[in-house]
Structure 1
Amino acid sequence: MTEAERFDLVLKSRRVVLPDGVREAAIAIRGEKIAAVLDPAKVPAGATVVDVGDAVIMPGVVDTHAHINEPGRTEWEGFETATRACAAGGITTVVDMPLNSIPVTTTRDALLEKLRAAQGRTFVDHGFWGGVVPGNERELEPLVSAGALGFKAFLVHSGIDDFPMATEADLHRAMPILAELDVPLLVHAELEGPAPAADAGDPRRYATYLASRPPVWEIDAVRRMVGLCRQYGGPVHVVHLSAAGALGEALGARAEGLPFSIETCPHYLLLAAEEVPDGRTEFKCAPPIRENENRERLWEALKGGAIDLVVSDHSPCTPALKLPAEGDFARAWGGIASLQLGLSLIWTEASKRGIGLPDLARWMCEAPARLAGIGHRKGRIAPGLDADLVVWDPGSSFLVEPARLHHRHPVTPYLGRTLRGEVKATYLRGQKIYDAGAFCGDPAGQPLLGRAPRG
């Protein structure tokens, strides 16, 4: 074998985001893996080289918070449409939440049914979270054996009756099992307390909805989870943190050395309550989008390391469920669709704040892969890892239009916005799956079943 024949493909750029910084480099791929990261001057003569010039090559984005909703609610989304959106947005790995599919992923049989539904229909690699609900503690170990990467629980009503909230008693039963299995518990951290009802005022006013889910709900919930994390020792992860006031509790847990982590989402980092028009229910989510001052505190926490990662919380539905004609925030489905746009959304705002590419890769690639227990394969550009790569132009802008979006329904609060950072190409395990607006080949995504053992 000649030196050139050692590699199937070499991708070269003047801006490659590596674990130790951004520099000119050549990524040599053999089979599905990164074989080497080379000085461009040392690429073997005769190798197949793709030179992307000044475009950035970054690890494929890992989104560990998406509601794909198949089987059972495929009219809301589905594996094919969701993973097309992933590929177009530079996401090479997505982890599906245990709701709002039918059945919800709270038993081993439900996970196997979901695996069958995904087979042959996914454009990117994908994993699955299981669910903790009242009475399913005997299913937790079988779910892990079947490949669940961890578990999600709600401390308030989830929005659907077939995924009931976990009480403190339920968590006391589940958390020692999860600690023994060494898998994380992901928590929707709101504890319902005194607040005006969502329809107590004018339900078309966003301020009415915002008042119905005050920050203290999140603060109290995070405090409870810190205590339970301290008691049982297993990893706890707070999903989609909205209230910056809860960060003090989390930082206290970190200071104790507890395995406690936090994510936030693009909508909390880009949008502000003062800017949400009344009646525009595409902005409704839970926890809610809060005020501009809160948004700035989230950015400071993200930059300072108090928040670990940024993921989409893609939570779509059929357009009718958003009640666009009524504009009723009390009754409309809560959830924001943004799966394809995450990289561009965060870069648009981060670049204004002087934040660089390494931070972006850490928040959106490396840290989510570590949360899901797949950091041995995903999230970094390094020899031996999967050749999952996104090529994108940080200086290129585009308008968010319905025709551009690949998730099932083009309903999103970002329509009409101009974003910076355009994905040019996406590679999954060494194969190009997206190229300048076109998809390449048949769906080639594979399930990621089980976490890498720690140690």
Structure 2
Amino acid sequence: MHERKIYSNRVWVENKLQPATISFTNEKIISIDFKKLDDAEDYGNAVIMPGVIDVHVHINEPGRTEWEGFETATQAAAAGGSTTIIDMPLNASPVTTTLDAFNQKLEASKGKMNVNVGFYAGLIPGNAPHLESLIGAGVVGVKCFLTHSGIDEFPNVTEKDLDEAMPIIAKYNIPLLAHCELYDTEVECDFENNPTSYQHYLASRPKKWENDAIDLMIRMCRKHNCPVHIVHVASAEALSKIEAAKKEGLPITAETCTQYIFFNAEDIPDGNCIYKCAPPIREKANNEQLKSAFASGVLDFITTDHSPAPPNIKEMESGNLKKAWGGIAGIQFLLTASWTALKNTMSLDQFIPLVTSKPAAFIKASTKGTIQIDNDADFVIWNPDAIDLVKAEDIFFRYKISPYIAQNLNGQVLETIVNGTTVYHNKSIQNKNKGQWLLQK
């Protein structure tokens, strides 16, 4: 592979945007010059930064490939500037709770990785004996649910299951990721008789469910000294609990997702299931608190929790929120929609680590997330100042069902480079299957 040199006035190197030329070959960065070299491609004022890392996506292959699949999901990731994604253990069938199931998933991804792909194992009741073999095979973490996952073959765990599994996970110092909602029958709504009402859906999964579950995970983290990661924090009431746990020195991290900072419950129409996810998108005042939790470090980074489904399962015609699959298709918009949501509350310099170096550190991907010599040549070149209207035909994931369609987003992805090769450029996929497995040995 020949050496390539790219220059911009705004390259994210050494934690700041500055003029630089990056030279790379054979999938690695070989030199960084803080000036324009004569033979470098000049990207002007576009931002060159490490490829975005989305550590929370559902690709649904094998077994539910008609919902998404590696081919479309990784193209969409590349189109959005993401060069590495981590796939969740459920929505695939079989779910990734045994080594055999994990090997089936690896096999299913071959020849379809347009970005780098890592994997989580699943923790369900009774599969703790399988965890060591899954960890040995290279998963970067273990995921569990504290409430029904929506998939019957991926049941939620109890405190007893956590007591059994957390010492094993702690031994290998990888994170246990928890979907934090604890089902409590006391809810003040009549969702049963108002199945198309967003406000009734919101009330059916109150903040208390999240708060109680996060309390439980903090207690279990303290008990077992096992790294715990709270996925998709939506309740701002839980932020103080996470903050206190971090101050105590517990190995705890937390994320929120683009949808929880981009959309607000007040603006969501009834009978439109594209907005349904769990936990639900909450009120504007709540979501403003989530935004400010990045500055304090209470929330560590941003993910999409891309969870697509076909139109019938999403109840697109009926608008029945009670029956609809809960999940937002957003893998293509981690960079641009998150920047749009946060640009008035933070600088680009504060934003960039939330989608690059911080998620890289979380999955211990030491050669990703920063531009330095010998690191992987994964880059996104984008214009954060351009405004792009999202059109269905520009979307690469399988079903063009997404709340981001028809939104004006700040930021235009010009080019995505994966392992030294341009995968996305000029609104099209240029080179396929340039991704690699990200296995943590």
Query: Counterpart of 2:429?
Result: 439
The equivalences for 1:231-380 within 5 A come to 231-353=223-345, 355-374=346-365, 376-380=366-370
Q: 1:175 aligns with which of 153, 156, 166?
A: 166
* SS of structure 2 residue aligned to 1:420: strand
Distance 2:246 2:63 in 1: 39
For 1:226, give the aligned amino acid. I
Query: Counterpart of 2:61?
Result: 70
Distance 1:416 1:120 in 2: 32
The answer to whether residue 399 in structure 2 is matched with residue 402 in structure 1 is no
- Is 2:421–2:434's contact at 8 Å kept on the other side of the alignment? no
The answer to whether residue 179 in structure 2 is matched with residue 188 in structure 1 is yes
Distance 1:283 1:121 in 2: 28
Query: Counterpart of 1:152?
Result: 143
The answer to whether residue 35 in structure 2 is matched with residue 40 in structure 1 is yes
Q: CA deviation at 1:248?
A: 1.1
Distance 2:205 2:155 in 1: 19
- Is 1:15–1:55's contact at 8 Å kept on the other side of the alignment? yes
The equivalences for 1:33-182 within 5 A come to 33-41=28-36, 43=37, 48-182=39-173
* SS of structure 2 residue aligned to 1:441: coil
The answer to whether residue 7 in structure 2 is matched with residue 12 in structure 1 is yes
* SS of structure 1 residue aligned to 2:304: coil
Query: Counterpart of 1:28?
Result: 23
Q: CA deviation at 1:325?
A: 2.0
The answer to whether residue 420 in structure 2 is matched with residue 430 in structure 1 is yes
Distance 1:53 1:65 in 2: 32
Identity of aligned residues (%): 44
Distance 1:401 1:10 in 2: 32
1:266-304 CA-partner distances (Å, limit 9, x unpaired): 110011111110001110000000001001100111222
TM-score for the superposition, normalised by structure 2 = 0.97
Query: Counterpart of 1:202?
Result: 194
Q: CA deviation at 1:49?
A: 1.7
Query: Counterpart of 2:383?
Result: 393
Distance 1:432 1:416 in 2: 27
Q: CA deviation at 1:20?
A: 2.5
* SS of structure 2 residue aligned to 1:319: coil
* SS of structure 2 residue aligned to 1:106: coil
Distance 2:118 2:320 in 1: 34
- Is 2:191–2:197's contact at 8 Å kept on the other side of the alignment? no
Q: CA deviation at 1:450?
A: 1.0
Distance 1:220 1:153 in 2: 16
Query: Counterpart of 2:208?
Result: 216
- Is 1:432–1:440's contact at 8 Å kept on the other side of the alignment? yes
For 1:405, give the aligned amino acid. I
- Is 1:62–1:365's contact at 8 Å kept on the other side of the alignment? yes
TM-score for the superposition, normalised by structure 1 = 0.95
Number of residue pairs aligned between Structure 1 and Structure 2 = 440
- Is 2:419–2:434's contact at 8 Å kept on the other side of the alignment? no
For 2:59, give the aligned amino acid. I
1:169-202 CA-partner distances (Å, limit 9, x unpaired): 0000000000011110000011111224773341
Task: Please identify, of 219-228 and 433-442, the stretch whose mean Cα deviation from structure 2 is larger.
Answer: 433-442
Contiguous gaps of at least 5 residues in structure 1? none
Distance 1:119 1:58 in 2: 27
* SS of structure 2 residue aligned to 1:57: strand
- Is 2:146–2:156's contact at 8 Å kept on the other side of the alignment? yes
For 1:56, give the aligned amino acid. V
Q: CA deviation at 1:247?
A: 0.9
Task: Please identify, of 15-24 and 131-140, the stretch whose mean Cα deviation from structure 2 is larger.
Answer: 15-24
Distance 1:270 1:19 in 2: 29
Contiguous gaps of at least 5 residues in structure 2? none
* SS of structure 2 residue aligned to 1:360: helix
For 1:17, give the aligned amino acid. W
